[in-house]
Structure formats: C-alpha cells, structure tokens
Amino acid sequence: MWEYIYVVLNLDVTKKFFKKMKENIMKISRLTFVIILAGFISCAVMDKTAQKSETSLPTGLMCELMEYPEKTIITDSSPEFCWVVNSALKDDFQSAFQILLASSMENLNNDIGDMWDTEKIKSVESINVEYKGKPLLSNTSYFWKVRTWNKNNEVSPYSSTQHFRTGTIDREYSTARYPLEKNENKPVRIVNKGKGHYFIDFGRAAFGTVKLTLTSPSIKQKVEVHLGEVPAGKNSINRNPGGSRRYRKIVLSLEEGTHNYVVPITPDKRNTREGAIIMPEEIGEVMPFRYCEIINCPGELEESMVRQVMVNYPFNYNASRFTSSNKVLNDVWELCKYSIKATSFCGVYVDGDRERIPYEADAYINQLCHYSVDREFTMARYTHEYLITHPTWPTEWILHSILMAWADYQYTGNTESIEKYYEDLKAKTLLSLEREDGLISVQTGRVTDEVLKSIHFAGELKDLVDWPHGDILGLKGGYGETDGFEFKPINTVVNAFHYQALVLMSQIAMALNETEDYNYFRERAELVKKSINEKLFDTTCGIYVDGEGSTHTSLHANMFPLAFGVVPEEHKQKIADFIKTRGMACSVYGSQYLLESLYEANEDDYALSLLTSTSERSWAHMIYDVGTTITLEAWDNRFKPNQDWNHAWGAAPANIIPRFLMGVQPIEPGFRKIQIKPQVGSLKSGTLVLPTIRGTLYVHFEKVENDSFSLKIQIPTNTIAKVYIPKLGIDNSVVVMDGVPREGIMEKNFVVLDNIGSGEHQFKRYR
C-alpha cells in the first residue's frame, strides 16, 4: 500500500520515510494518521498544480503574427492564432488544444467563449490556427485564451488573456502592422564646454529627436541645438561630415519659465521625395544622431533635462542573445543586432537615411536578421508585400522577392501571403526572359511592356552584381565592390539567382498544392543549373567565369553559385579555394552571400576569420576605427563616398551567426522541425538564445581544439530537431546523448542524430 501511495502522489519524499511511518503506525491513532496522510495529499496536489501552472501554461500568444495586437487593429474576418506550448516533460508535444474567444473579459474569466469555443480539438497545431467562430464585428474588442493537452493527455491551465480590437472588418487580405513607438534614452556623458555650451553623448545613434527641459528667465531666448552622427574629436560634432552622414542645426526660441521642448527636425529633400517612405504625422520627422551640442543653454544642464527620443518599430531586445569566447565576434553581433532595431524607424525596411526607399536585397538581409533577433514577422511581411508592387531596378532585386516570400513561409509556417501573391511571384522568377537553355538576360530584347507590367515595374532593368560599381561616384584607383566583374548579357550572378528563385518557387508551389507548377519549376531549375555548369564554367581552371563569352573570373561569379547550390559536389572545394584567395572583395551586401557560400562548403574557419577580421573591410573596422553604432552602407567612406551610417544591409552577421555559425534554421516551415548544425571553426565556446514562432531555442557549445565537442540544447515543446555534431576526425559515428551512447549517421564533416524531441539535451563527442 505504501508503495502505491508513493507512486500515485509522486511525493518528493523517500520510501525510507514511508517505511518509518509504517513502523510507527501502531503508535499513532487512526485519526492522526488520516490527518497526516491528508496533509501529504494536499501538499502533493498543490505542488503538482503549481508545477503544472508554471511549466504547462501556454505563452507567447499571437493574433495575426502579433504578440501585442492590442497596439493596432485587426481587419481580417478570420484572424489566425499562435501560441507557445510549454512542458517540463522531455520529448513532449501538444496532442490537443481548446481556444475560448469572448466578447468580454468577464465572459472569458468565467471560461465562456461566447464567440468561439473550439472545445477540445485533437491536433498538434499551435501556430496559424484560423478563427472559425461567430462573425467578428467591426470596431469591437475581443479576448481569447488557450489551453493545451500534452502527449499524456494531461491538460494545462488556460493561458493569460490576449486582447485585440477589430477595425473595419474586410475580407480582402492585408498584413496588420504595429504603430511606431517612441522611447526616451538617457545620455551616457555630458561635457560642460563653457558658459551655456554642452556636449551630450547618448552612447548609440538612433533615429528621432531630442527632448529638453529648460528654464528661461525671459521670453524668446535663442538656444542652438546641434545633432549629428559623426564626432569631431572627443567632445564635438562634425558639422560637415560629408556624404549622407547627418548633421543638423536647429534654433529654439524659449518661453519664459520651465518648459519641455521637443526639437523639430526639418525634412531632408533627398529622403522625403517620391518613392521614399514618409514618417507618420503623429511621429513627425526624425534624423539619425548620437551626439548633441547645446549652445546658449539657460542655466546648468543636468542629466534629467535631456533625452534622446528614439523612434522604432516595437522591438524586444531581450528576445535574443549571443555570446562567445571571441570578444570581436560578440561586439559584431551587438552592432548588427542593434542596427536592426535602430533602422526600423519607418516601419518598413528602407536603405538607411540616404533615400529611405525599400529595396528588395536590402530588405531580404534585414528580414533574415530581424527573424534572428526578435520574434517579429509583420514588418518583414509588410515590406516584402510592398515591394511586390513597388519593385526597384536591379535584375537580381526582382528575383529577391521569391527569396523573401520563401523566408516568410519558412519562419512563420503561414501560407496567406504566398497564396495571395502567388501569380506575382511566378512572374518575378523572370521565366519570361529565358532562352531555350533556361538562362535569362535583360539585354536580349525579351523585356517587353507585358513583362514589366507582370512584375509591376516601370523602368529599365539592369544587372547589379554588387554595389557600387567602380565607374560611379567618382571612385578612383579601381575601387568598387564587384571584384572587376565583366558584365555580359548572360550574367553568371543573375542566372545563379534565377536558379535559386526557381528552386524556391517550386517549394512554394508544393506548399500551395500546385503540383503541376511544382514539377514545372523544378524542371526549369534543373535546366538552368545544367546550362550554368555547361556554359559558364571554365573546365580548365575549375571555376566560373563572369558570363557567357567572358574570360574573367570574379569572387561574385563563384560565391553566388556556391551559396545557391549550383556547384556540383566534385567542384565545391576548388570553388571554395578560389573564393578564399579573394578575401572580402565585395560589399557589405555581398558579404551575406560570401559567408553563406563558405558555410555551404564547410569552410567555417575561414568564415569565422572574416566575421572577426579587424581589416578595413570588416565589421570590427566599423566599430573600433569608424566608431559607428549602426552598420554602415559600405566598409568605409572611401569605398562609397555618399554612404550613410545607418544601413541594415550591412548587418549580415545578425543572421549569419545564428543560421550558420550556430547552425539553427527551420527544416520544416514554422520551425516544426529544426536544424542545429554548428559550424564554429576555431571558436572555443558560444551561446545562442533564439526566438522562434514556436518558442525560444537555446544552444550552447564548447570545443577543445579537435579533441572534444559538447553541445547543450533546449528545444521548444511541439518541435523536433536534427542535430549535427562535428566528426572531429573520428571514424565511428557514436555520440553520447544525455549520457547514453547513440549511433548517428555520418554526413560529410558531421555525425547526425535525427528526430530529437523537445526539452533539454546534451551531446558529447571525444577524440
């Protein structure tokens, strides 16, 4: 009987204690025993209930991919809901769920889903669950919560409540967005430079303005406010920074007495013209600045009297974390992560402050970085959909739309956007420009008005490869970011992108059950791959030339085919060896694909050397030498004289570190299955906290030369993982997982363990 009580109650006491009770049972009255037993039962029930409340409560609720839908309005008549399943059990998953949606908080508190009560639905789905209740009314508040059942059919408590409000209900598809936020930052340093003259450093650049609290003895006293990004010495602002670096002088007229003043920013003609994203009236104009100088300040300026008013899209800075044994890498991560927050000031991904125009390639890098640092998907989706109908001129940028669409689907698991824009995406593969061999060109007379209309573009398409080219902007001495690329009508870089677009378009077709299209796009992709390798590959040198009829071989003509899987296995090492001879002979944009190509070729040591380089073409140069706190548009002013200091397309490490160095990517859309494939090079240790739509993923590794590798992971409930452990030059495929030897599968430089369930796991491999 005692053993039965122990098992049923699962009390945190030992059998020895029960044995002692059994020995003394005759010494106590039956009533006393019942009281003791009842106390244990009560404690056990309370303990188990508390534990279930703590570990099983669904969290991270989303409506229309938004954690805080109450900040905006929902216009979809059938919004979709997501939540994070939590469990203390290893290998657990959701077996069922119940959603309650109510028209009042009172009803929901009483567990009355008067609008929608799903009752218990047997399903593993915890993302993109479509509303199927009573018709939602316009301009109305609603409240919802959810509970889940685990693999043992044990039910969780209900989640906390999420509130959302509808606008005008419209069955037309649209992506909901948050309004922009304003946050106030304190100065990190104030220097008194003389009577009424102060220099203020806010520590980081931000888009916004300055708020001052000043006391004036008389009316209309004039105060000069100087704002800028670039310092001149230690305690001054560079008032002529050049290029698109920002400086502004604003004169304030004070009122008598103490008042708060928000410094008005005058618009810049370049970034408020047609095509630019205009700031909302309720936010007002902004500019990027880190430093402020105040001249003719009335009285002493104290820290509490001055604030940097930062404007950005809602951003959870604590959602992600990365740290490693390499300080430079840590600083690079922080620079790039902050850049994603700081450059969100328009609510749309733009090319920094120079033009404030969305561009597809800029936005794609921004998108991948945003997914890697915050559990936020709406800004990326809105920007992508905006660019569908507002495309820009580079040929490769049109093709980037398919890359953006696929990334959206992979990270959200949501098909609404790709379904809505499916025909547009098909046109943006540029199949209409193909020759019989599948290769495309914008210079062979195939760009007709009909083609331009199908991609929503009015203008001239031009191949870009990289930017800037060496013959613009007054660049001398061969400077430019194309590694001497020779432009030919049939361009190797453009056709590598074309191949990638076709591959991803076939996957999009499959996701939408467009079987005929899936087969067609897959076949066209194989034809393009075959033609690239037959017509653009120099068999003598074993590397790719820049285009049909070219004898020049550039970094770009080789890194893009390698990054996109064009290169046959037998040529990969030769291509990688060539790429390594070129260094960082590309722009900050090109570095995204250079690093992807290196990780594709298992050149993680060399990739790490680029990420941690302190040369002029490096992120460390931006931090330590230039002094920027947001990634630059170019490696240095001399590579692009008109560059700005706030360009998210230079923030590639924010996604490269989580996706390739730490190796975390979705295998199945919406992170139903996760790849964890660390390629750490000579790095000794690293820790990543990565937000996903299904919950937060934790990865930590430690490496001792080539002698041992240990990996600790925490996988969100309701997911599984495919885990790669470095071989370390060992022939056997045994990995110690959670203290038990496991037989894996040898795959190139890794031992692979598949279908690893949720929870915490530890892997070790020794030489």
Is pLDDT above 80 for 245? yes
75 and 220 co-located in one domain? no
Q: What angle do CA 638, 640, 642 make, to 5 degrees?
A: 110
Asked if residue 417 and residue 305 are part of one domain, the reply reads no
Burial 379-394 (b: 16+ CB within 10 A, else e): bbbbbbbbbbeebbeb
Examine the domain organization and report whether 566 and 474 are in the same domain: yes
Residue count (the chain):
767
The verdict on residue 176 lying in a domain is no
How far, in Å, CA of 179 to CA of 177, rounded? Answer: 7
Is the pLDDT confidence value at 479 over 80? no
Is the pLDDT at 49 greater than 60, yes or no?
A: no
Report the alpha-carbon distance of residue 446 to residue 712 in Å, rounded: 54
Q: Is the pTM of this model over 0.85?
A: yes
**pLDDT for residue 48:** 42
| Cα–Cα distance, 335 to 636 (Å, whole number) | 16
Please report whether residue 116 resides in a domain.
yes
| Mean pLDDT in residue range 621-632 | 98
Helix (H, G, I), strand (E, B) or coil at 297: coil
Q: Taking the C-alpha atoms of 417, 418, 423 and 424 in order, what is their torsion angle to the nearest 10 degrees?
A: 70
Considering 116, 150, 170, which residue would you say is the last residue of a domain?
Answer: 170
Residue 188 lies in a domain: yes
The mean pLDDT value for 481-489 works out to: 96
Residue 175 is assigned to a structural domain of this protein: no
Q: Is residue 481 part of a domain?
A: yes
Kindly list the distances between the CA atom of residue 308 and the CA atoms of 209, 211, 212, 311, 635, in Å, as whole numbers in the listed order.
6, 6, 9, 10, 27
Residue 15 pLDDT exceeds 50: no
Identify the CA nearest to 131 among candidates 99, 160, 165. 99
Q: Tell whether the model's pLDDT for residue 647 goes beyond 50.
A: yes
3-state helix, strand, coil in the chain (%, to 5): 35, 25, 40
Minimal CA–CA distance to 84: which of 755, 662, 666, 758? Answer: 758
Are residues 714 and 624 located together in one domain of the fold?
A: no
Confidence label for 476 from pLDDT (cuts 50, 70 and 90): low
Residue where one domain finishes, among candidates 284, 312, 340:
312
Cα–Cα distance between 173 and 727 in angstroms, integer?
48
Query: What is the rounded distance in angstroms from the CA atom of residue 743 to the CA atom of residue 724?
Result: 12
pLDDT-based confidence at residue 609 (cuts at 50, 70, 90): very high
Q: Please confirm whether the linkage preceding 468 is cis (ω < 30° from 0).
A: yes
Contact (CB, 8 A) for 228 and 299: no
Residues of the domain holding 35: 2-53
Alpha-carbon span 384 to 404, nearest angstrom: 6
**Domain of residue 200, CATH code:** 2.60.120.260
Shared-domain flag, residues 122 and 261: no
Verify that 257 and 360 share a domain, yes or no: no
Q: Quick check: 342 and 313 in contact, CB under 8 A?
A: no
- Number of helical (H) and strand (E) elements in the chain, helices listed first: 19, 31
d(CA 657, CA 256): 54
641: its two tokens: 């004289």
Predicted confidence at residue 472, as pLDDT, reads 74
Instruction: Please say which residue of 661, 686, 704 terminates a domain.
Output: 661
**CATH at residue 117:** 2.60.40.10
When pLDDT is averaged across residues 609-624 and rounded to a whole number, the result is 98
For the chain, report the end-to-end CA distance as a whole number of angstroms: 50
Same domain for 602 and 462 = yes
For residue 666, being part of any structural domain is answered with no
User: 313, 311, 318: which is closest to 374 by C-alpha?
Assistant: 318
Q: Based on the domain organization, do 250 and 285 belong to the same domain?
A: yes
Q: Residue 477: pLDDT band by 50, 70, 90 thresholds?
A: low
Residue corresponding to tokens 């920074």: 241
Structure tokens at 688: 């990543």
- Separation between Cα atoms, residue 354 and residue 47, nearest integer Å: 59
pLDDT category at 171 given cuts 50, 70, 90 is confident
In a domain, 614, yes or no: yes
For position 21, what pLDDT does the model report? 42
The percent of residues in the chain predicted with pLDDT above 90, rounded, is 89
**What's the mean pLDDT in 695-713?**
96
175 with 75: CB under 8 angstroms?
A: no
Q: What is the CATH number of the domain that holds 760?
A: 2.60.420.10
pLDDT in tens, 362-376: 999 999 999 999 999
Check pLDDT > 60 for residue 628.
yes
> Can you name the residues that pair with 292 across neighbouring β-strands?
200, 227
pLDDT digits (tens, 9 = 90+) for 299-356: 999 999 999 999 999 999 999 999 999 999 999 999 999 999 999 999 999 999 999 9
Kindly tell me if the per-residue pLDDT of 406 is higher than 80.
Answer: yes
When the pLDDT of each residue in the chain is averaged and rounded to a whole number, the result is 92
How far is the C-alpha of 529 from the C-alpha of 544, rounded, in Å? 13
Domain count, the chain: 5
Q: What is the CATH number of the domain that holds 535?
A: 1.50.10.10
pLDDT tens figures, 522-565 = 999 999 999 999 999 999 999 999 999 999 999 999 999 999 99
Q: What whole-number distance in Å separates Cα of residue 669 and Cα of residue 411? A: 6
Neighbours of 16 (CB within 10 A): 8
Based on C-alpha coordinates, what's the Rg of the chain?
Answer: 29
Please state, in angstroms and rounded to a whole number, the distance separating the CA atoms of residues 130 and 570: 47
Are 322 and 455 in the same domain?
Answer: yes
Q: Which SS3 state, helix, strand or coil, does residue 410 take? A: helix
* Bridge partners (DSSP) listed for residue 411: none
Using an 8 Å Cβ cutoff, are 366 and 407 in contact? no
Examine the domain organization and report whether 107 and 165 are in the same domain.
yes
740 and 593 within one domain: no
Q: 158 near 100, Cβ under 8 Å?
A: yes
The pLDDT tens digits for 127-136 are 999 999 999 9
Query: Which letter does DSSP use for residue 342 in this model?
Result: H
The verdict on 434 and 554 lying in the same domain is: yes
Residue 161 lies in a domain: yes
Residues 714-746 have pLDDT tens digits of 999 999 999 999 999 888 999 999 999 999 999
